[in-house]
C-alpha cells in the first residue's frame, strides 16, 4: 500500500545513489519537483531512463548526478537542443555521460517488457539503422512459426520510477488522465514507485482517458501542487512554453546554468 | 521577382499540399506538424493527425509547440498509450503517410538525426536522436520529409544512419523487410526532390517560384540530378498564406 | 471510413463462408445479434476465434456452421457446459469440430500479436502443461539477452472481427466502455471490422474506462439496440442470467435446440 | 451430530478463511469467487479481488454469476484490458493468491480442466478448458484450490495436465521456471489437504467437524496420507454463515 509522505522523505527513502531511475511523462505530467528534490539531496551516480530526456534530465545531467542515460529523443521540444545533455556527451562536463540510445518504439517496448516481467520484447524496428551498432540492448529473434527475423529489445526495469499524476485518494490510489504516455508501463516495470500528485482527494472520480494505479502497485504518494511545472497537468495547469524557451539561453552557458541551479533549486526548500 | 512570402512559407505550403488525398498522417513535431495542420486547414480538412504522444485524430486550433501539448489530447478522437500508438497503430501499418524532419539526408533519403562527425580532433556533435523516425519510415504507406536546403543538411554521406529511407538503392527496402513505399518526396525551401523510380536516388523535380536549378545544386552536398524540365510549384494562394499565418500566430499567442 | 449499414447487408458483405471470424466480448457486449444473422444467412465452414465461446458460439456450432474453434475456455459461465460445443467435439454432431486450444493468457497474446502485426507474441505460459502437445500454435523462443526460454504463441489475424459497442457517431467512430476485454486487439487484428452498436449518437462523449475505435479502423457500423442480448451493454442493459440458465436444457437436447433455432432465429427477420 | 450448515458451506467458509492475511487474490468464478467474496465480508475486508475480465479491486455487493458481471467493473478500483490483466498484473507476479477450482486434481495438486478419458470405446469427454488457470498457478505467490471431494475429482492419474501444481514432486516447479509456492491448500467439503513439505504430495491435514479420515480416503482416488492427528476445522460462526447466505441470496435475486 502506498504511504502518503513528504517529498523530502519520499525521495530520500526511495531514490538512492547508483539507482536506475525512470521519470516519465510524455511532455505532460513530467515530475519536475521530484527531480529538483533529487538535485537538492545530491543523489548521484544515477542511470536515468526516459524516452524524451527533456529539460528535466538536462537539469539532472547538468547538476552532475548522472552517469548514464537510456533514451530515444533528447531535445528541448519545440525549441532546440538540450545543452547540458550535449555538453556532457560532447565535452564530458561536468562528467562523462554514457548513452544507451534507442528509437521511441524500442524504448516503449522495453518498458512493456519490464512491466510484463519478460526479459525482452519483440518489434518490427531498427532495420537498417546504425542504432544497434552502439547498444547491447537491441538484438534479433526468429519467429518460431514463420522464420521471420524481428528486432528484440531488452526489458528495462528501473529501481525506482517517478511520475506525476493529477490525483490520489487517501488510500494512495492514483489517477491520471489526458496524455498518459508510457507511465503505466514505467511504473509497473520498477521495483519502487513514487508518485507526486496535484492533490489528494476524498474519492477518485475516474475520467475519460484516465488510468488508475491501485495503491498496492505504488510505494509512496506525495502531494506536490504544480509539481510538473514547467510541464503541465491537464485540468490543473497549462504547459509553460515560455520557460522551455527561456531554458535555451540558461542551459547554453555553464555559469548561467549553475546560477539558475543555485537560485532555483538549492536555495529553495522542498517544504511544500 | 517581388514576393510576399518567405522561402519557409513556400516550403510549408508545398509540404501541406503533398498531403493531398492522404487519409492518416503520423506527424513529427516542428515543420511536419505545421504542414500537416495547414493541410487540415486548407485542402484536406478530414486528414487524421496522429502524434506519437498517443493521440489519434487531433484537431488543434493552434500550432502545438510540443508533441504533447494538451490540446492535442483534448481535440483527439482517441488518446492511447505510447506503446499502443507504436505497436497497434504505427507498426501495424495503419498509417498512410509518415511526415518527418531531418538533420542530415542523403541521396537515398536516408536520415541522420543522431550524431555529427566534426572531424578527427573534435568529439562527435550530438543531435536529439531517433525518436519515432526509424519505425515511422519503416511502417507508413509512404514518407514525406520537410527540411531546409543546405549542404549541411543534404550530404554526400551520412555520419550515422538513424532512419532508412531507400537504403543503398532499389530493392533495399524490400530486402530489409520495410513496409510501404518509403520517402516519396522531400520538400525544401528551394523545391521538391523525389526518388527516381529506377534508381531510388533523389532528383530535383520541382522548383519554387524564382529558384534556379543551380541554386538547388549549390545547396546540395552531392551531384544532384535535376529533371530535364523541373516543374515550378504554384505560388501560395492567399488562402494558404492566411491559414498558415493564422496558425502560427495562434501558436505564438498560446505559448 | 466505416459505413453505417443494415445488419443484413453488413453481415452479407463482411462475413463469408470459410472465413476466420472472431466475435469478442468478455461476458459483456457479446455480439449475439450479428451471430444470429450469420445463422440466418447460413454462412458456413467458419473458423471461429473467441477466448470464451459462450452461448454465442454454442449456437453457431449447433447450427452446423463451424469447422474449427480457436478458444481458451468453453463453458456456460456460472451455469455449466456448452452442450452444443460438447456434442460437436464428442460426437461430431452436426459436424466434427476441430479445436485449437489455448490458455487465456495465450489467447490474449495471440490477439495482441495480431493487432501489432507481429507473427508471434512472447509470454510466461504453458510450462508443464499438456496444452502445447495438441496445437501447432504454441512454441518457444529463447531470450537473446538472458538465454531464458519462453513460450511463443502464433498471432491470430481473423478475416473479420465482430464486436458490439454502446455507441457510434454518424462518422462511424465507435465508443465502448465498462469491461472492454480483448475487443480492441481482436478488432485491430482483423482485416475487416463489423461493429453493432446500441445507438448512433450525434457526438460521442468519452466515458471513463472507455475506448474509441476511430472510424478509419472500422469497416461497418450497424445500429442494433440490445444486440448483445442475453449478454449486456453497460449503461443500456443488464445480463440476462435467466437466459443463460435456460440455455442449459435447450442446448442439452438436439431437438430442443433445433426448435429453438427455428423459432428464435430462422423465423425472425433481421429487420431491426 | 446435528449441524445447521451444509458440507458446501463448510467448504466455502474454510476456503474464505484460507485467505487470511492475503493482500490480492486472482479469483476464478464459481466456488473461488464465493469464497473470496466471503473473505471480504468477514475477516479480510481489504482483500483486493482481481478478475480475469479485467477488474482490479472489485467490491461486488452480490455474488457475480459470471466473471464479467457489470458490478465487477462498476465497483472496481481500475478496469483494464484482458491482455493487460494477464501480462502486466498476473504474469508480472503482482498477485499474492490465485484461487482455482478444478475438475480433476492429482496427488501433486496438478489440475485437469480439459478432457476426460472415458475409455477405449468412447470419445474423450469435453471439459471447458484451461481459462486462466495455467498462468494463475504459475505466477501467483501461492495457489488455493476449492472443489468437492470425490474419487471422480481426486484421481490417481490426470487424463490431461491442464495446469501444473507441483508437477511430479519437489523441485519440479523450480525446474519448470514457475514462480511462487504453487498450491498450498485444497479446500473440500470434507476437509483440507496440504502438500507435504518434503514430498509435495497432498496430505489430509484438517477434517471438517463430523468427518472421518476414512470418509476422506474413500472419496480420494489415490492412497491418501493423513496427518497423524488431523486438526478439526472450526465450525462456521454465525457471522460467517449469515454473510455467506446473504451473499448467495443477493446473487440469486440479482439473476
C contacts of B94 (beta carbons < 8 Å): 188, 216-217
B187-196 pLDDT, tens digit per residue, is 999 999 999 9
- Does the structure show a pLDDT above 90 at C173? yes
Which of A125-129, C122-126, C268-272 has the lowest average pLDDT? C268-272
Question: Which one has a higher pLDDT value, B159 or D61?
Answer: B159
pLDDT of residue C270: 57
pLDDT band for position D228 (cuts 50, 70, 90): very high
Asked if B92 and C212 come within 8 Å (Cβ–Cβ), the reply is: no
B contacts of C173 (beta carbons < 8 Å): 77
| Closest residue to B24, CB basis, from C116, C117, C216 | C216
Q: Three cell numbers at D230?
A: 488431523
C3-16 pLDDT, tens digit per residue, is 999 999 999 999 99
Give the number of beta-carbon pairs within 8 Å between B and C: 32
A contacts of C115 (beta carbons < 8 Å): none
User: D130 at the C interface (CB within 8 A)?
Assistant: yes
pLDDT of residue C272: 47
Asked if B88 and C185 come within 8 Å (Cβ–Cβ), the reply is: yes
Asked if C214 and B94 come within 8 Å (Cβ–Cβ), the reply is: no
The strand pair at A160-169 and A192-201 is best described as parallel
Whole-angstrom CA distances from B73 to A24, A31, B62, C168, C171 are: 17, 19, 13, 20, 19
Task: Tell me if there are at least 3 CB pairs under 8 Å linking chains D and B.
Answer: no
Please tell me which residue of chain D has the smallest CA distance to A214: D77
Q: What distance in Å separates residue C13's CA from the closest CA in chain B?
A: 22
Q: Average pLDDT, stretch D206-235? A: 97
pLDDT of residue D138: 97
The strand pair at D142-146 and D97-100 is best described as parallel
Whole-angstrom CA distances from D143 to A191, B84, D12, D111, D164 are: 23, 32, 16, 12, 11
Q: What is the CA radius of gyration of chain B?
A: 18
pLDDT of residue B2: 56
Which of A145-149, C157-161, D118-122, D129-133 has the lowest average pLDDT? D118-122
C174-221 pLDDT, tens digit per residue, is 999 999 999 999 999 999 999 999 999 999 999 999 999 999 999 999
Whole-angstrom CA distances from B97 to B75, B145, B149, B174 are: 21, 10, 22, 18
Please give the share of chain D, as a percent, with pLDDT higher than 70: 97
Q: How many other CB atoms sit within 10 Å of the CB of residue B157?
A: 13
B contacts of A130 (beta carbons < 8 Å): 114, 160-162
D29-42 pLDDT, tens digit per residue, is 789 999 999 999 99
| Closest residue to A208, CB basis, from C121, C123, C207 | C207
User: D81 at the C interface (CB within 8 A)?
Assistant: yes
pTM: 0.97
pLDDT of residue A272: 47
User: B134 at the C interface (CB within 8 A)?
Assistant: no
CA dihedral D6, D8, D9, D14 (to 10 degrees): 130
- Does the structure show a pLDDT above 90 at D251? no
Q: Are D139 and D90 in contact (CB under 8 A)?
A: yes
* Closest CA relative to residue A2, chosen from A135, A175, A152, A125: A175
Give the span between the Cα atoms of A80 and C221, in whole angstroms. 45
Q: How many other CB atoms sit within 10 Å of the CB of residue A3?
A: 14
pLDDT of residue D67: 75
C contacts of D54 (beta carbons < 8 Å): 26, 179-181
Q: Along the 255 residues of chain B, how does pLDDT read in single tens digits?
A: 456 899 999 999 999 999 999 999 999 878 999 999 999 999 999 999 999 999 999 999 888 877 778 889 999 999 999 999 999 999 999 999 999 999 999 999 999 999 999 999 999 999 999 999 999 999 999 999 999 999 999 999 999 999 999 999 999 999 999 999 999 999 999 999 999 999 999 999 999 999 999 999 999 999 999 999 999 999 999 999 999 999 988 876 543
- Is-catalytic flag, B71? no
pLDDT of residue D29: 77
> What's chain C's length in residues?
272
pLDDT of residue D1: 47
* Closest CA relative to residue C111, chosen from D114, A211, A212, D84: D84
A207-252 pLDDT, tens digit per residue, is 999 999 999 999 999 999 999 999 999 999 999 999 999 999 999 9
Q: Give ∠ CA C99-C101-C104 in degrees, rounded to 5.
A: 145
- Please, what is the average pLDDT of chain A? 97
Question: Which one has a higher pLDDT value, A123 or D253?
Answer: A123
For C57, phi then psi, to 5°, come to -85, -25
Give the span between the Cα atoms of D30 and D46, in whole angstroms. 21
The strand pair at B191-195 and A220-223 is best described as unpaired
- Does the structure show a pLDDT above 70 at A271? no
Q: What distance in Å separates residue B75's CA from the closest CA in chain C?
A: 12
C contacts of D67 (beta carbons < 8 Å): 26-27, 77
Q: Are A55 and A222 in contact (CB under 8 A)?
A: no
- Does the structure show a pLDDT above 60 at D171? yes
Whole-angstrom CA distances from B246 to B33, B48, B50, C150, D47 are: 14, 20, 22, 55, 56
pLDDT band for position D252 (cuts 50, 70, 90): low
For B13, phi then psi, to 5°, come to -65, -45
Give the span between the Cα atoms of C64 and C62, in whole angstroms. 5
Asked if D70 and C85 come within 8 Å (Cβ–Cβ), the reply is: no
Interface of C with A (CB under 8 A): 116-124, 137, 139-146, 148, 150, 152, 154, 206-210
Amino acid at each position: 500500500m502506498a504511504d502518503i509522505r513528504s517529498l523530502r522523505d519520499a525521495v530520500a527513502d526511495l531514490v538512492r545513489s547508483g539507482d536506475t531511475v525512470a521519470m516519465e511523462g510524455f511532455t505532460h505530467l513530467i515530475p519536475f519537483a521530484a527531480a529538483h528534490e533529487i538535485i537538492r539531496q545530491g543523489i548521484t551516480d544515477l542511470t536515468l531512463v526516459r524516452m524524451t530526456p527533456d529539460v528535466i534530465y538536462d537539469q539532472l545531467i547538468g547538476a552532475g548526478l548522472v552517469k548514464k542515460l537510456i533514451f530515444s529523443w533528447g531535445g528541448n521540444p519545440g525549441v532546440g537542443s538540450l545543452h547540458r545533455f550535449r555538453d556532457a556527451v560532447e565535452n564530458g562536463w561536468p562528467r562523462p555521460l554514457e548513452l544507451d540510445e534507442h528509437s521511441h518504439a524500442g524504448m516503449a517496448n522495453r518498458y512493456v517488457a519490464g512491466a510484463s516481467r519478460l526479459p525482452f520484447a519483440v518489434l518490427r524496428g531498427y532495420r537498417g539503422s546504425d542504432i544497434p551498432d552502439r547498444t547491447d540492448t537491441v538484438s534479433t529473434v526468429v519467429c518460431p512459426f514463420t522464420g521471420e527475423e524481428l528486432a528484440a529489445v531488452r526489458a528495462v526495469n528501473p529501481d525506482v520510477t517517478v511520475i506525476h499524476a493529477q490525483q490520489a485518494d487517501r488510500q494512495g490510489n492514483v489517477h491520471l488522465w489526458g496524455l498518459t504516455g508510457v507511465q503505466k508501463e514505467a511504473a509497473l516495470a520498477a521495483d519502487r514507485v513514487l508518485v507526486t500528485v496535484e492533490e489528494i482527494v476524498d474519492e477518485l472520480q475516474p475520467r475519460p482517458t484516465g488510468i488508475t494505479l491501485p495503491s498496492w502497485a505504488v510505494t509512496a504518494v506525495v502531494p506536490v501542487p504544480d509539481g510538473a511545472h514547467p510541464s503541465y497537468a491537464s485540468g490543473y495547469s497549462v504547459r509553460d512554453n515560455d520557460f522551455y524557451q527561456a531554458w535555451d539561453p540558461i542551459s547554453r552557458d555553464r555559469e548561467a546554468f549553475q546560477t539558475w541551479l543555485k537560485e532555483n533549486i538549492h536555495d529553495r526548500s522542498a517544504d511544500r | 521577382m517581388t514576393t510576399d512570402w518567405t522561402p519557409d512559407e513556400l516550403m510549408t505550403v508545398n509540404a501541406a499540399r503533398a498531403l493531398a488525398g492522404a487519409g492518416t498522417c503520423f506527424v513529427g513535431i516542428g515543420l511536419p506538424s505545421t504542414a500537416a495542420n495547414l493541410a487540415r486547414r486548407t485542402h484536406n480538412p478530414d486528414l487524421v493527425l496522429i502524434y506519437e504522444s498517443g493521440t489519434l485524430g487531433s484537431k488543434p486550433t493552434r500550432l502545438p509547440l510540443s508533441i504533447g501539448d494538451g490540446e492535442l489530447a483534448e481535440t483527439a478522437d482517441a488518446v492511447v498509450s505510447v506503446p499502443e500508438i507504436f505497436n497497434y497503430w504505427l507498426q501495424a501499418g495503419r498509417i498512410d503517410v509518415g511526415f518527418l524532419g531531418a538533420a542530415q539526408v542523403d541521396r537515398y533519403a536516408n536520415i541522420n538525426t543522431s550524431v555529427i562527425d566534426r572531424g578527427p580532433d573534435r568529439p562527435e556533435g550530438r543531435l536529439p536522436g531517433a525518436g519515432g523516425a526509424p519505425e515511422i519510415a519503416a511502417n507508413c504507406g509512404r514518407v514525406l520529409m520537410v527540411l531546409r536546403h543546405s549542404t549541411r543538411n543534404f550530404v554526400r554521406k551520412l555520419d550515422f544512419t538513424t532512419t532508412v529511407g531507400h537504403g543503398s538503392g532499389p530493392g533495399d527496402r524490400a530486402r530489409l523487410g520495410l513496409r510501404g513505399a518509403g520517402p516519396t518526396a522531400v520538400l525544401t525551401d528551394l523545391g521538391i526532390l523525389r526518388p527516381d523510380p529506377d534508381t531510388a536516388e533523389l532528383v530535383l523535380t520541382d522548383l519554387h517560384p524564382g529558384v534556379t536549378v543551380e541554386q538547388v545544386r549549390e545547396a546540395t552536398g552531392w551531384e544532384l540530378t535535376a529533371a530535364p524540365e523541373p516543374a515550378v510549384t504554384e505560388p501560395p494562394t492567399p488562402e494558404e498564406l492566411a491559414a498558415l499565418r493564422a496558425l502560427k500566430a495562434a501558436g505564438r499567442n498560446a505559448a
